[in-house]
Each structure stands twice: as C-alpha cells, then as structure tokens.
Amino acid sequence: GSHEYDYDLIVIGGGSGGLACAKEAVANGAKVACLDYVKPTPLGTKWGIGGTCVNVGCIPKKLMHQASLLGESIHEATAYGWEIPNKEAIKPKWENLVQAVQNHIKSVNWVTRVDLRDKKVEYINGAGSFKDPHTVVAKMKNGSERTLTGRNVVIAVGGRPRYPDIPGAVEYGITSDDLFSLDKEPGKTLVVGAGYIGLECAGFLKGLGYDATVMVRSIVLRGFDQQMANMVADSMVERGIPFLHKTIPKSVEKTQDGRLLVKYVNTETQEEGSDVYDTVLWAIGRKGLVDDLNLGAAGIEVKADKIAVNEAEQTNVPHIFAVGDIIHGRPELTPVAIHAGRLLARRLFGGSKQIMDYTDVATTVFSPLEYACVGMAEEDAIQKFGEDNIEVFHGFYKPTEFFIPQKSVRYCYVKAVAERSGDQKVLGLHYLGPVAGEVIQGFAAAVKSGLTMKILLNTVGIHPTTAEEFTRLAITKRSGLDPTPAS
C-alpha cells in the first residue's frame, strides 16, 4: 500500500514532461513530489523551473525568430506604402531583446510555480538521485539533503547540449543554453551543427543582423526529409548564411583582440581552414542527463546517454518510468513529452490503458523560411513501401503577400507523400514557407484521421493562403511535369 512510501509518485525533472505528469497524477488523486534543479552551464548560465522548452528552448527560440521576422517586415513595409524615415538606421538592440525574452521567461517561471502550488504538487528545488529503487535523495543548493521514498518514480530530466572534444570548446564556445541570455551581442557567429537547433539559431541571428555561418559535418537536418532539408539550407544560403559543408572544427583560440579563431578541416579534401568569429555556438546535439542520477542504485539500464523504455514508458525496473527527452529513440519534442507524461499519470493513477502514440507527430523547423512536416519523409516511405508503391505530389507556389515586396518565392514548396494505389492514403506532408507550424498543425489532425489524397484534393481551399496549396497538389513527381506555377 501507499502508506509505506512518502509519495505515490516522485518526478525527477520539472520540465515539460515531468510537470505534466506530476500535475495529472495529482489530478488523479496521487501524492506527488517534483524535483527540479538546473546545473549552470560552463559560462555560468542558469535558469528557473520549467525545463528546456520554457527557459532555453522552444520559447526563447520562437521569440528571437519572431524578432528576426519583424526586422524583415520593417524592410518590406515600405513596399506596402509605409513611410519609414532613415530605414537603414533601424537595427535591433540585443540587450533589449534579451531583456524582453528573459522577462517573458521569468513570468512563465512564476506562473509555473503558482500552478504547482494550486495543483498541490510538492515542488522541491533539488537535484534528485537514486539511493535505492524506491528512494530518491534531493540535494539542495545549500548542500543539504532530503530523502524521499516513492511508490513510483518518473525520470524526466531531459538533456543538455553537447560540447565537442576539441581544444577551447568549453572555454570559448557557447550553446543554446547560453545564447538567449547572452549579455553582449553575439556578433559574427559560427554555428557548428546542422540539426534544427543550429539552423534555427543561425537563421534568427542573421535576421537580427549578425553574420552567421553554419558548419555541417555530414548532412543537413538528419532524420528529416532530405529534399526538404536541402531546400531549407539553400533558402538560408540565399539569405546570406554560408554553409561550410563536410567540415569539422579542430580548435578554438582567443585572439589578442578577444575574438575567437576557429581552425577547421574539410573531412573530404583534408583541406584546413580558419576564420575569426565573435561567438562560436555548439549545436551538435544533446546528451541525456543520466550521469547524476546514480541510476545504478536503482538498477536502471542506460542506453547511449538515455533510458530505454517500453511502449508504456516503463524502464527495466517496473515501478520506474521515463518521459521526455531522456527516453531513448523517441522524438525530443515538448508536446510529445507532455502528452506522454499525462497519459502515463492516467495509467498509473486513473485506471487508463491508453498508451502514447509516437507516430505522425508534426513538427516545425523555425528557419527563416519555415519548414513543417507530419508523417514520413519521402525516402523513408520509398524504403518502406518501394518506389513503385509511393506517389509523391508536389508544387512550388507564390504567396500573394510576397509579390509586392518582391520576396523570393524560390523555395516556397509543398509536397505530399502518399500510397500509390486506392484512395492514396497520405503518409507524409511537407511544407516550406511562411507560418509553417500554423499550416501543418491542422493537417496533422487530418493525417491522424487517415487522410487520403482523394479527400485532400476534394478539400476546398481558403484563398488566398499558403495552406491551400495542399489542396491543389495536382502534379506527381512520377509525371515529370514542371511543378512551378504559371503565375
């Protein structure tokens, strides 16, 4: 019975997944403690409750992306008749942007604390580690310790950015953990890594007026549809963001004038190169925070910095679960963590049997020209079903509002990957263009409902929008017809 333990549930980690799970568990009658603790970055950056998304991820990223889009809009506005005197003098002030972003984050931290108190989740600002399978020790900032026992434990500690193992990386480089609160403007920036974090950061930095370069080790946006990924990269190059392909960094040194000299090498030609930057941003992937949990004391198996779980988010120790970015082999996305955390709490305390469905999760890359998708990449569909059984519909399009300011429409493109036979079930939708996330979210519900090309092409569009392009996908790749619009 639960009387043997202090809590029905101990949640280690107060990010998206952990908080959602903790609150839902209380709503289902459980007594819950939630531990949260942020280790400062090598630069000393730290933050409050809420995890990566709120503090150093989705939220500040979206705000800086918005700041960069606004800059673009100011310059377009004159084409629409706005009279903007001395347009060339308009530039963002980094300190003010950081302040605005950090103020918002602080208000979210506050609301989160109040919400936990209202919902009767016991919040403990301490770093949790296992003493035995049912006992967690919370280590507080002042060094004191508190021992808690729980009938169940959920590990939701998430991850942190990796640093490369080269000289100067930790001393002189920063990561996304530091960028959004950086006290001086980043200036000319080298972004190492071409995952979505790297592309997003390079994109908004350039939009804010700082030179940004992306260093790519192998391919852009691994795991995403590669035609779309390459178009995202090309659209960034068109905006003046150079890509150093097949290149890895060798060292970072401080120059006499306090800038950063980065030496690098092309892995194909072995040609060496170097350049001087003001900021070097590592965006080379994230590491699960398994190290400080003393998982051995609970007998939990670790798999490549992450925790392996079954379809019910259960670890190899039956009463210990994991949700969010710490899970091995699952998408690292906030809404995924929240949904999985809630469903887990309902199964543990609400008698539910529903498990998390990790398929067809829509996502967006907030590059300057945004990319959103749901479902399968073209190459994955071909690999799974064979080229003969897949039909790919595609088309370039011209957003109405792009004409007046003469914005480039070169990379505005939509694609549907579908089964070739019958009503042509839609397997994946891909969109490159403005407000991509807003466009794809509704279509994601349709895909989850079993959308077919027949239904999609029988859907009447909203004119003039860019989302309506999905309802006009008449051209297949197989036909070889030109997918560029006439006007």
Identified binder of ligand NA7 from the candidate list 64, 191, 283, 427, rule CB under 6 A: 283
Choices 142-150, 215-223, 259-267, 477-485; region in contact with ligand NA7 by CB under 6 A:
215-223
Can residue 195 be called a binding residue for ligand NA7 (CB under 6 A)? Answer: yes
Can residue 284 be called a binding residue for ligand NA7 (CB under 6 A)? Answer: yes
Nearer to ligand NA7 among residue 93 and residue 303 (C-beta): 303
State the minimum distance, in angstroms, from the CB of residue 408 to ligand NA7.
Answer: 25
Nearer to ligand NA7 among residue 26 and residue 197 (C-beta): 197
Identified binder of ligand NA7 from the candidate list 193, 207, 375, 395, rule CB under 6 A: 193
Choices 179-187, 278-286, 302-310, 405-413; region in contact with ligand NA7 by CB under 6 A:
278-286
Binding mask 305-344 for ligand NA7 (x = CB under 6 A): --------------------------xx------------
355-391 burial string, b = 16+ CB within 10 Å, else e? ebeeebbbbbbbbbbbbbbbbbbbebbbeeeeeeebb
Can residue 285 be called a binding residue for ligand NA7 (CB under 6 A)? Answer: yes
ω into 464 cis (within 30 of 0): yes
Query: What torsion do the CA atoms of 366, 368, 371, 372 make, to the nearest 10 degrees?
Result: 40
Question: Does the annotation mark 463 as catalytic?
Answer: yes
Which residue minimizes CB distance to ligand NA7? 195
State the minimum distance, in angstroms, from the CB of residue 18 to ligand NA7.
Answer: 17
State the minimum distance, in angstroms, from the CB of residue 357 to ligand NA7.
Answer: 18
State the minimum distance, in angstroms, from the CB of residue 37 to ligand NA7.
Answer: 21
Closest alpha carbon to 10 in 116, 108, 135, 99: 135
Identified binder of ligand NA7 from the candidate list 169, 197, 244, 451, rule CB under 6 A: 197
Identified binder of ligand NA7 from the candidate list 31, 61, 134, 286, rule CB under 6 A: 286
Choices 217-225, 254-262, 419-427, 439-447; region in contact with ligand NA7 by CB under 6 A:
217-225
Choices 193-201, 311-319, 364-372, 375-383; region in contact with ligand NA7 by CB under 6 A:
193-201
Total interface residues for ligand NA7 by CB under 6 A: 19
Can residue 194 be called a binding residue for ligand NA7 (CB under 6 A)? Answer: yes
Separation of alpha carbons 159 and 307, rounded Å: 11
Type of residue found at 153: V
Identified binder of ligand NA7 from the candidate list 13, 15, 186, 198, rule CB under 6 A: 198
Identified binder of ligand NA7 from the candidate list 2, 107, 218, 354, rule CB under 6 A: 218
Can residue 248 be called a binding residue for ligand NA7 (CB under 6 A)? Answer: yes
Identified binder of ligand NA7 from the candidate list 164, 168, 368, 433, rule CB under 6 A: 164
**Contact between residue 15 and residue 37 where contact means Cβ atoms under 8 Å apart:** no
Catalytic residue among 65, 319, 328, 463: 463
Separation of alpha carbons 248 and 264, rounded Å: 6
Can residue 192 be called a binding residue for ligand NA7 (CB under 6 A)? Answer: yes
Q: Give the active site residues.
A: 463
Positions in the binding site for ligand NA7 (CB under 6 A): 164, 192-198, 217-219, 222, 248, 283-286, 331-332
